[in-house]
């Protein structure tokens, strides 16, 4: 059983509750300073709501305070290691050099601590590290899509398949899209999370097998076969 990384796509449909979608995406992306395998990494936003969603996303990010984790007012701490931050900066710089637009953030701040500011990249497309690689830090990649088919195609254009989310007020539409997404778990109108009651794991480069729930328990059980007599064995 392997539980590996992810580059989770979040689909923002044109009929989504944009306030809810923005809040959930930011909560997911900035949790643990973005160092979470199931955080929202690629936001595929229908073109009709691209501008208002982006503005709401920026407003949610503005509520975050980066600083000392022991300060109760802080809700965005530092990264775990220097090499992780260095690689994150490489991914941002390479994506911008390839045509992505950095709306906010994008540079290592001065001062002590392995901090990295919330960063929003727009005009992201395949071929950029922000799209192709797992970005393990507080960097949001926004990809504009034409329709559901375009969104699903770009979401599945990834070596990873851990989690995904769909934001729409049409639950049946959300279910249809969830079935088309190549991932181990898809949440509708919420961010992906683990729960002991739910099977957890991915496909493709995101892992093999499942942990948690009754399905996960069986992954770790050694089954013993005892055959008595001639019963076709």
Q: Which residues are catalytic?
A: 3, 37
Helix axes 171-180, 148-156, angle to 10 degrees: 40
User: How far is Cα 83 from Cα 60, in angstroms, rounded to an integer?
Assistant: 28
User: How far is Cα 32 from Cα 96, in angstroms, rounded to an integer?
Assistant: 24
User: How far is Cα 124 from Cα 141, in angstroms, rounded to an integer?
Assistant: 6
Classify 28 in phi/psi space as left (phi over 0), alpha (psi -120 to 50) or beta.
Answer: alpha
User: How far is Cα 93 from Cα 116, in angstroms, rounded to an integer?
Assistant: 14
User: How far is Cα 207 from Cα 8, in angstroms, rounded to an integer?
Assistant: 13
Nearest to 135 by CA among 29, 21, 27, 4: 29
Token pair of 134 as six digits: 């797992």
**Token pair 């539980």 in the structure block, residue:** 3
Whether the CB-CB separation of 117 and 66 falls below 8 Å is answered with yes
């Amino acid at each position: 059983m392997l539980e590996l990384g992810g580059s989770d796509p979040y689909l923002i449909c044109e009929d989504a509750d944009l306030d809810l979608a923005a809040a959930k995406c930011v909560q997911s992306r900035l949790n643990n300073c973005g160092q979470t395998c199931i955080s929202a990494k690629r936001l595929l936003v229908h073109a009709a709501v691209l501008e208002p969603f982006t503005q709401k996303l920026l407003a949610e990010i503005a509520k975050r305070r980066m600083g000392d984790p022991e300060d109760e007012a802080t809700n965005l701490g530092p990264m775990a290691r220097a090499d992780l931050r260095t690689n994150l900066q490489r991914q941002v710089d390479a994506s911008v050099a390839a045509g992505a637009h950095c709306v906010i953030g994008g540079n290592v701040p001065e001062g002590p601590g392995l901090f990295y500011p919330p960063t929003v990249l727009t005009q992201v497309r395949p071929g950029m590290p922000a799209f192709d690689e797992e970005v393990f830090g507080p960097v949001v990649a926004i990809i504009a899509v034409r329709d559901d088919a375009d969104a699903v195609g770009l979401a599945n254009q990834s070596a990873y398949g851990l989690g995904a989310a769909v934001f729409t007020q049409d639950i049946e539409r959300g279910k249809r899209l969830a079935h088309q997404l190549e991932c181990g778990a898809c949440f509708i109108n919420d961010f992906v999370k683990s729960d002991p009651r739910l099977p957890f794991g991915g496909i493709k480069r995101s892992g093999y097998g499942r942990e948690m729930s009754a399905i996960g328990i069986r992954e770790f059980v050694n089954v013993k076969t005892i055959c008595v007599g001639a019963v076709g064995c």
